[in-house]
A = this chain, B = another copy of it.
Amino acid sequence: MAAESKTASAGAIEEVLSRLAFDEHGLIGAIAQQFDTGEVLMFAWMSRAALAETLKSGRVTYWSRSRRKLWQKGERSGQEQRLVELRFDCDQDALLLLVDQKGVACHTGRRSCFFSALRGGKIETVAEVIVDPEALYGE
């Protein structure tokens, strides 16, 4: 099921930004959860600009700490995330993004980035590669 992405007005964006506690790097952690299945897809970071852009466009945009720039999810791979609903926690210092993930969230081609699990005393891979990463990022 595809969900319509929601976009927010400038006023609503201002109100959300004023309520949140960004850390000493100007970032806030964001959990992306598939809105209808409940699957936790990934954890990444947002700056004020990333969150504002996400709310304005309805397309989830993060702050890449390694590349030090805004990163619209799926900009290279096409595996975009549409925002269905923004939530935040009681301390206002963590975000829960209910999203509609197209394809796979993980750069390894798995649906979720959380594919390593400790089971029976061993670290196991508990999710399969659905899309060849080469197909996502290759020429």
Main SS of the interface on chain A? Answer: mixed
* A89 and B118 form a contact (CB under 8 A): no
* B121 and A11 form a contact (CB under 8 A): yes
Q: Determine how close the nearest CB of chain B comes to the CB of A5; give it in whole angstroms.
A: 13
- How far apart sit A114 and B29, CA to CA, in the bound complex (Å)? 13
- How far apart sit A119 and B83, CA to CA, in the bound complex (Å)? 12
Q: For chain A, which range describes its interface: under 10, 10 to 19, 20 to 34, or 35 or more residues?
A: 35 or more
* A87 and B117 form a contact (CB under 8 A): yes
Given known contacts A31-B43, A40-B96, A89 and B116 CB-to-CB distance under 8 angstroms: yes
Assess whether A1 is interfacial by the CB under 8 Å rule.
no
* A90 and B118 form a contact (CB under 8 A): no
Binary flags per residue of A27-39, CB closer than 8 Å to B gives 1, else 0: 0010101000111
* A89 and B113 form a contact (CB under 8 A): yes
Assess whether A56 is interfacial by the CB under 8 Å rule.
no
| Choice from B29, B33, B106 contacting A90 with Cβ under 8 Å | B106
Binary flags per residue of A13-51, CB closer than 8 Å to B gives 1, else 0: 001100100000000010101000111101100000000
Chain A interface (Cβ < 8 Å from any Cβ of B) = 8-9, 11-12, 15-16, 19, 29, 31, 33, 37-40, 42-43, 55, 85-92, 94, 96, 106-108, 110, 113-119, 121-123, 126
